[in-house]
Amino acid sequence: MAASTLSEVARLAGVSLATASRVLNGSSRKPAEDIAERVREAADKLGYVPNAQAQALAKSSSGLIGLVVHDIADPYFSAIARGVQEAARQQNRMVLLASTSGAPSDEKEAVAAFAARRADSIVIAGSRSVRAEDKQGNIELAAELDRYCRNGGHVGVVGHPVVGASITEGYHVVKVPNEELAAGLAAELAATHDGAFLIIAGPEGLYTSDDRVRGFQRGLEEAGKPAAEVIRTGFNRAGGYDAGAALAERIKSSPERLCIFAVNDVMAIGVTAALRPEGVWIPRDATIAGFDDIETLRDFRPALSTVHLPLEDIGRLAAGDPDTPPVSGAVKLRRSTEIPAESQA
């Protein structure tokens, strides 16, 4: 990667390095127009491309924003990524991407790499966890982030603060009202559903999952319903699928319709997918709701009830866009929780 340099441009234009720099790379001091023109011509002729690394080094600001996601191909994360990307574009920055499959120790690596690249800010999406196996990783991640912040970095986290992080300076959490929204969902579902409720959750210790479970239970309680049974499984489609497969028999043999709440949409999709080949139909044999309102749902049948989250805005907020409104979700009841007419009577 050897390209022509500023000093070559300066020489060709017959000016000093300083002048060339001032002309080409925005400075408060604007050289005279005739000189500027000469410099621009020279740059053009040489095909000069400024070396952003060198600029970053000299100005100590890289114009980079780091994004940590569990899996970029997951619609939840790619929606957030889109938001971050847009915010970055507006701020004239570039996005550095890291997929970590969710392990805090990998996230720590990613943060360290971003810090090494002197990213101006770092966005961490993906649920925080207090699970025992993540303990060590969390400590390291928190330490890495603290160091990064102490050195002047900004970090935006989606949902919950990183476990153990102690710095507040430069640390920004995009709050997602998971609990309230889940409670709201429970309330609306409780209004029409008479039977039992079942929650399919992620592993205990995952904040996002736990918050939604808690909220849903609270909503049920407030509606005067008994608490729902909770099944724990993976926080992704595969987890939902497994849970669904395990549930099919039970649903078929029970006379009462079950209302299932999967703590996120991909899990709800997994559940539904596992139920289908078993002959369990939604909403005929059971009703189901998810959470997130990922774009994929638009074309999923039966239309899935869920809680809408403005994922792109969340990304934008986490990336520090000031013009984005705060996060507000909304319950969306759709076909998957509509009790069929014949049995309502």
Partner DNA sequence: CAATTCCGGGAAAGCGCTTGCCAACCCGGC
Partner DNA sequence: GCCGGGTTGGCAAGCGCTTTCCCGGAATTG
Applying CB under 7 A, which residues contact DNA?
Answer: 2, 5-7, 14-19, 21-22, 24-25, 27, 29-32, 35, 48, 50-51, 54-55, 57-60
Q: How far is the CB of 285 from its own copies (least distance, A)?
A: 16
Residues 267-286 that bind its own copies (CB under 8 A): 269, 272-273
In the complex with DNA, the residue whose CB is nearer, 56 or 167, is 56
In the complex with its own copies, the residue whose CB is nearer, 53 or 328, is 53
Q: Does 298 bind its own copies (CB under 8 A)?
A: yes
As to burial, measured by CB atoms within 10 angstroms (0-12 exposed, 13-18 middle, 19+ buried), residue 181 is buried
Q: How far is CA 177 from CA 46, 119, 171, 294, in A?
A: 54, 29, 19, 17
Q: How far is the CB of 271 from its own copies (least distance, A)?
A: 11
Interface segment toward its own copies; rule CB under 8 A; list 48-56, 206-214, 216-224, 326-334: 48-56
Tokens coding 45: 């002729």
Total number of residues binding its own copies (CB under 8 A)?
Answer: 53
In the complex with DNA, the residue whose CB is nearer, 18 or 227, is 18
Residue 229: φ, ψ to 5°: -70, 145
Tokens coding 329: 């979700």
Q: How far is the CB of 111 from DNA (least distance, A)?
A: 17
Residue 27 interacting entry, from its own copies, DNA, none, C-beta within 5 to 8 Å by type: DNA
Q: Does 21 bind its own copies (CB under 8 A)?
A: no
- Alpha carbons 155 and 263: distance in angstroms, whole number: 26
Which residue has 């969902």 as its token pair? Answer: 185
Residue 117 interacting entry, from its own copies, DNA, none, C-beta within 5 to 8 Å by type: its own copies
Residues 60-79 that bind its own copies (CB under 8 A): 60-62, 67, 71-73, 75, 78-79
Which residue has 């049948």 as its token pair? Answer: 301
Strands (E) across the chain are located at 64-69, 94-99, 121-124, 154-158, 171-174, 197-201, 229-232, 258-262, 286-289, 306-308, 330-332
Q: How far is CA 239 from CA 71, 74, 79, 217, 306, in A?
A: 15, 14, 21, 21, 18
Residues 107-146 that bind its own copies (CB under 8 A): 112-113, 115-118, 120
- Alpha carbons 38 and 4: distance in angstroms, whole number: 17
Nearest to 305 by CA among 148, 204, 187: 187
Residues that bind its own copies (CB under 8 A): 1-3, 47, 49-54, 56-57, 60-62, 67, 71-73, 75, 78-79, 81-82, 85-86, 89, 94-99, 112-113, 115-118, 120, 147, 151-153, 269, 272-273, 295-296, 298-301
